[in-house]
Every structure is written in C-alpha cells, then in structure tokens.
Chain A
Amino acid sequence: MKYLALVKLLFVQQYKVRSAVATRSGKKRLGSAALYLVLGVCFVPLFVAVAVAMYYMGKVSDGNVYVATFLTLICQSLVLMFGVHAVISNVFVVRDADRLLYLPIRSHVIFLAKLTVAYLNEVITTAVTAIVVLLPFGIGAGAGVAYYLMLLAALVLLPMLPMLAGTFVAMPISALVTLFGKNSAVKTILRIVLYVAIMALYMYAMYSFGFLTGSSGGNNFLDDPEKYIADTIGDFALNLQNVMPYFHSDYMLMQSMLATNFAQWAAGFACALAENAALLGLVFAVSLPFYRKMLASSVEGSGARGKNKNGGYVVKQRGTVREFMLTDLKRTVRDAQIGFQSFAGIIMTPVIVVILYFLMGTADSGETSFLELMQISPLYQMIAPLIILVYMTFLGCSTNVLGLYPISRENKSAFILKSLPVPFSKILLSKVLLATAVMVLSDFVTCILIVALFGVKWYIGIVMLAVMILVGFGAMCLTTLLDLKNPRFGWDNFNQGLKNAKNSWIAMLIALLAGVALTVCSVPFVVVFAILDSVYLTIAMWAVDLGVSAAFAAVSYKIMTGKAAKYFERIEV
C-alpha cells in the first residue's frame, strides 16, 4: 500500500507544475489544441516516413527475427538515451530526502517506487517507438494476430533492458560526479562528457553491426535503388545473426512474437519473461545499495562546508547586465539538472553532424559512399548546406534550454527578480545574451564540422553560421516570450517538471516554419541554377536567406521586447 501510494505521489507530482499567470482556461485549451494540430501536421510526415521504412524492412527481410531484434534494440536505445538522464535525475539525484526519510517507509520501498516511476516513463517512450517501428514492421512482415497481441507484452518487457543499462550507466556517472565534492561546475561538465561518451559508444556498436556502412554486395544505389536496399538489408540480417542472440531477452521476445507455432511462442515468451524478471532483480540488487549510499550522502552533505579564513572573499565592481549574466551562468552550470540540460544541447547538434557523416559519408573499401556520390552533383553545394542548415536549426532551437525556459528555471526564487530595482529590460537582455552566447558556441562548432566533414565551401559555412544564429535568436526571442507568458514554478525536478511545458515543441515548430520559409525562398534559385549553373545564383540565394533570417530575428526581437515587460508584471509569485 505504501509502495503504491508513493508511486502515485511521485508519478503525479512530476506533472504538478504551477502556472504563475492568469489564463482563461477555454482560450488556453483552444491554444493547446491548435498547437497539437500544427505539430501533428508537421511531425506526422516524419513518423509516417519512418513507419514506411519499417514496413519495407519487414517486407524485404520477411520478418527476420534478427532484424526484428535489432529494431527492438533501436527502440530500447532511444528509451535509454532519454532514460539514463531520467534515472539519474529521478532516482540517484536525491533532492527529496528530507521529505521522505522521516516517513515510516523503508528505504528500499522508496527506491522501488522511484524506479517504478522511471520505468513508467520509459514505458511511455517505448509505446511511441513501438508504434512507429515494431507495428509497421509486423504489417510488412505479414505477421499474425499473435504478433500484435504480443506488442502489449513487449511494451511491458522492452523497458527492462534500458532500465538495467540506464542504471549501470547512471551509477558510475553519479559516483564520479560525487567524487568531485563541492565543484558543481566540474560535475556538470563531467556528466555531459560521460553522456557523449555513452552516445559515441552506442554509435560505435551500431556501426559495428554493419548497418551504417552501407554494405550492399557491390551494387550501386543509383543503378538500382531497390536491389541496393534489398541487398543491404540481406547483408545486414546476416551480420546480425552473430550479434543479436547476445541480447537474449529481446531475441526470445521477438522469437515468440514472430513464432509460427504455439510451442515456439510459449518457449520464447516464457524465456523472455524469466530473463526480464532476472534483469529487474539485478537492477534492484545492484542499485539499491548505491541508492542508499547516495541518500545518506545527500543528507550528510547538506551541512558540509569548508573552513574559510576571516574576510577570505573578494567583492568586484560590475555592471548590472554583466553581473546578471555571470550569476545566471554560475547558477546554471552548478545545478545538476539544469546544467546538464542546458549544456548538453551545445554538443547535441555537433554530435548529430558527426553521426550524419557516419551514416552518409562512409563506405567499405573500394566502394563509393552516399555522400561522395552526392558531392559529384553540381547542385550539391546549393542544396546540401540548405538541408543541413534547416535540420540543424530545427535541432539547435529545441535544445537551447537557456532560451526555452529563462523564467521557469528561476522556479521558487523568481520573486527575487521581481523585487530588484532593475528594469526588466536589463534582466531580459542578460538572459537573451547568455542563451545566445551558448547557442553561438554550438552553432560555430556545428558549422566547422559541416565544412570539414561534408565538403561544404568555407564561405558558405560562414553564411550558414550567420543564418543559424539569426534563426536561432529569433526562435529564442519567441520562446522566451512564451515562457514569460506562462512560466512554470514549483517543480522539484527540472527534467520531469517541465514535461508538460510546451516550449521545446513550440521552438521546434518555429524552427520548422523558419526552415520552410528559407526553403521556399531558396527553391527558385535552385531551379534556375539547375539550368544555368551560375555561381551568382548561389550568392543570391544565400543573400536572400540571410535577409529573411535577419528579418525574422529583428521582428521576433521586437515582438519580445514589446510584450515581455507586461507579461513579467503579470507573474504572481
């Protein structure tokens, strides 16, 4: 009973974030409905494209159990990527010890409840990935009714492996960062570095399966695309035969899902159930002592302070905006949750550029990579930077947490901002400047990588950087305004607490619309270039894109500054 009550409390609490302004509920509901509708229109094509690819994979591989197991691993990897951070922030970053320890509940019950909440969150992610990946795969493979019924069982079982992996990854990260004692900034950097290392390891594993190398038996994609893909999947299935059985619980689950007779189904399902139960036991047994240790250190550490000599501090003369930015930066870097979210975004887009390069730019010896094939085309320098730009802007805007939640991250101490004798325009400027500085750093590294890896001309790279910064700045101004309009306070866990805030979705949408606008402006130049092949058209296209993005940034900034003070005034803290 205590366990269930605690699970309910923790699960519900992560969505209980207080809105701090008055909004008419009818208007709010209408706005939300409109937003979801537009988002649906934008994202459904993407999901449909993935689903079609999975359908085709199921069809070509004829429901190959190794390919199906690999796809479950893909789903689990996505769950893991989001899950590791959820496990760290929900389970091992103990912020509620003082509220839980005095209750007559054993620590293992608290731990189990927290683990359950992390698991429930992962089930939700699994459900989304399963609908897009496993469902169309089954349809393509012509699977029977049992496959679809077993999908429900898969939803329950698939998160177990990411839970185990997430826990095993979270423990050394949490332990390592704890070693650095009081230096919170180093802790945040270390967390990000380790997170990137895990992602790189994941990419290496995928690469080693032969999926990303484009092995196709010597066929050329341009000669016969259908045969090329069929051969690639065939080769891929062969490669997987040796690896997939190691992921035994998934392999057995897929065997039962794709079983052709009852005995095969029963054996596979029983085995998958037993192995996942064992995984759960292992997670619990290994991480409970660690959780207890973190719980103890969170309580004992609260009073630990260094001995300082009398007067051992310096007071400096600074301007208001500079002081604000420095304070905000320190608070962000030193906060375990906000710091990770804010600065992981910086490396997210460059890392994805590298991943894209591995996906398109590598090939077996003697073969030509997809990227090399594309680079032969005269249109490459015209189209490729534009596509990469739109995609990177889309990613960059949605990961810049500093610009997405500038007010919500103030949380319960937001009253301090309101009590200070400082014009809100200065507070706003400092927040926008800080978020812009972080974004520029990320965009700069991204553009260097694009020029170096994708063979984009350096001068186009510079214009791309300018366009990315301008579009990012414009999107950030609008999301800052949205956060001001409806900030969320009262959260205990930044990661979970802002789940129901829509800013990152809206940022994606804004970036997507900006991308569409840039594409629409560029298409006429591309079409004419295909006929005339003149370098002036490239220059003209980028000049127009630069102008459009500058106009977008200027208009967004004007909208933000025009309304921000009024919204700030309305906030009730």
Chain B
Amino acid sequence: MIRLHNVSKTYFKSPVKAVDDLSLEVKPGEIFGFLGPNGAGKSTTIKIITGILTPDSGTVEINGVNLADDPIAAKSLVGYVPDNHEMYDALKGIEYLQFVGTMYGVRAADLKRKIDEYAALFELTDAIPDMIGSYSHGMKQKLSVIAALVHDPKVWILDEPLTGLDPQSAYQLKTLMRKQAEAGNTVFFSSHVIDVVEKVCDRIGIINHGKLVAVDTLDNIRADGKVSLESLFLTITSKNERQDAPDDASDDGEGK
C-alpha cells in the first residue's frame, strides 16, 4: 500500500511547486496508473515515494511504514524501475544485479534463482555477463525491471516502464504487473501510453501542474461509460490549463 498525505515539493531552482498538496492512496492488489502531461509532476511524485527526493511537506507511507521515520524499512519494501537509463555502465549486468541484491539483503542462492528466472523471461540471459554500457535502451530497461524484482517487493513502482521494450517484453512486463497485483502487492505505474494504462490498470490518477486533478476507477471517471480515456485525459488536462490561464496571463502582465 502507498499512502501520500498532503505532499508538496518545490525544486530549489524552480519558483513553482512540482507537486502541490498531493494526497493519494493506492491499495494492495491494485495496479494504479499515474497519468499526466510532460512536466506535470509524475516523476517527482515517484521520486518522493521511492525516497530519492524529500518532500517539503506531507507524509509518505509504504505498507504502513512512514518513509521519513524509517526510510530503510520503507525502501526495502519498494522495487523501482526509473524512467531514465543512467545505470552503472561500467558494471556487467550480473554485477549490477549482485549489487542491488546485496543492498536489499537477498541471499545469494535466492538471488541466483531470481536472476535466472527473470533473465530467461526477458531473454537477457546471454547478455547478463556483458557490460551494461554495451546494452541497448531496451536491454537496460529489462535489467532495471529485473533489478526491481529480485527482492520480491511489496510495492512495485514503474516510471514509464514500456519505453524501449520490444512487444514480447512489453507483454511479459504487463503480465508480471498483473501477477504482482494478484499476489496482493501494489503496482504504481506511470505512463504516457494511455492505451496500455486503459488495459492494465485498475484505477488511475491524473496529475497536472503538480495537483492530482482526478483519481478513480476507470469506469467511474468515464461518467457515461462511452468516453475514451484519451479524450477524458485531454479534457481534464486542458480544462486544468484553462483554469490556470488567467493566473498565467496576470503573471506575464506583472512580468512586463
């Protein structure tokens, strides 16, 4: 379970809030889709949940563990697939997995079994003894996914995970996400690919300008049951833009 309560974050170089008073709860056994335009605050929210960024205010709980009070215990519960591919290029794939496994306290035998299982699933077995620097974008993504799963996380957080994956691997990933949810784990999934979100997620949240503008099951968001998620997303985010417009205009005016 993930619980965010009144979380806000402003980067030190920015005058605007990247995340603005965001409250959200994602339940166990649920796949939660997190949508939003570029720069809406998706990755910032995910970085706050994973403990990479510290919020200016508000609290984050992972399966009831307060991230600020016990960050090590909270982080141990999380598996994180980042949106960038800045990995340790000077390491071999297996060395990276060994490193991550050790950091999460996974026993060597279990780690080997997990690596074998997931590497075979994502057809990465042959490449694992090679340098990460020699990997393609998609291979790095697969390695990230494996690294996020070797410790059997209770909460799985994926930031744009389908980028660069081939159709087979994308299918395997979606299947894995469903399996995780069925096992009672929480899956938090951010994406721009609305079709995938529509097919995979149980519930979605839409963030714009750092604020959570909609959160519900797909059926409830589509009030009449006929509107596509894509048009709904565009309506909600553009409505939000229009609401923001007078402020923006006055800001510009003051600037002049």
Name A's B-contacting residues (CB within 8 A). 21-22, 182, 184, 301-308, 310-313, 315-320, 323-324, 327, 330-332, 334-335, 411-413, 415-416, 418-423, 569-570, 572-573
Contact = CB atoms under 8 A, between A and B. Distances in A.
A572 B12 contact: yes
Given A306-B130, A420-B104, 15 more contacts: A184-B131, A302-B134, A305-B130, A308-B126, A308-B127, A312-B129, A315-B101, A327-B95, A330-B90, A331-B91, A334-B131, A418-B53, A421-B71, A421-B78, A572-B53
B12 A184 contact: no
B103 A323 contact: yes
- A-B pairs with lowest CB-CB distance, top 6: A22-B12, A421-B75, A412-B86, A334-B90, A317-B108, A323-B102
A91 B250 CA distance: 49
Interface stretch (B111-119, B211-219, B230-238): B111-119
23 contacts: A182-B131, A184-B131, A302-B133, A303-B136, A305-B134, A306-B130, A308-B128, A312-B129, A315-B111, A316-B108, A317-B108, A320-B102, A320-B103, A327-B99, A330-B91, A331-B90, A334-B131, A335-B90, A416-B88, A419-B82, A420-B75, A420-B104, A421-B76
A320 B13 CA distance: 34
Nearest to B80: A419
B108 to A, nearest CB: 4
B130 A308 contact: yes
Contacts of B130: 305-306, 308
Contact of B86 (A305, A413, A422): A413
A569 B12 contact: no
A492 B19 CA distance: 29
Interface in B121-140: 125-131, 133-134, 136
Contacts of B115: 313, 315
B108 A315 contact: yes
A308 B129 CA distance: 7
Given A308-B130, A310-B125, A411 B12 contact: no
B139 to A, nearest CB: 9
A419 B128 contact: no
B126 A310 contact: yes
B11 interface: yes
A418 B52 CA distance: 5
Contacts of A413: 86-88
A569 B91 CA distance: 26
A286 to B, nearest CB: 29
A323 B126 CA distance: 24
Contacts of A327: 88, 91, 95, 99
Interface of B: 11-13, 47, 50-54, 71-76, 78, 80, 82, 84, 86-88, 90-91, 94-95, 97-105, 107-109, 111-112, 115-116, 125-131, 133-134, 136
Contacts of B54: 569-570
Given A419-B50, A572-B11, A303 B134 contact: yes
A304 to B, nearest CB: 6
Nearest to A308: B129
A332 to B, nearest CB: 8
A393 B191 CA distance: 53
Given A308-B129, A315-B112, A422 B72 contact: yes
A313 B134 contact: no
A500 B197 CA distance: 44
Contacts of A331: 88, 90-91
A318 B102 contact: yes
A313 B128 contact: yes
Nearest to B93: A313
A21 B12 contact: yes
A416 to B, nearest CB: 7
A301 B89 CA distance: 14
Instruction: Indicate the member of A307, A312, A318, A415 with the most B CB atoms within 10 Å.
Output: A415
A422 B101 contact: no
A412 B84 CA distance: 9
B75 A411 contact: no
Instruction: Indicate the member of A313, A315, A327 with the most B CB atoms within 10 Å.
Output: A315
A227 B105 CA distance: 72
B129 A313 contact: yes
B98 A316 contact: yes
B54 to A, nearest CB: 6
B180 to A, nearest CB: 18
Instruction: Indicate the member of A305, A313, A573 with the most B CB atoms within 10 Å.
Output: A313
B127 A305 contact: yes
Nearest to B135: A305
Contacts of A315: 94, 97-98, 101, 108-109, 111-112, 115
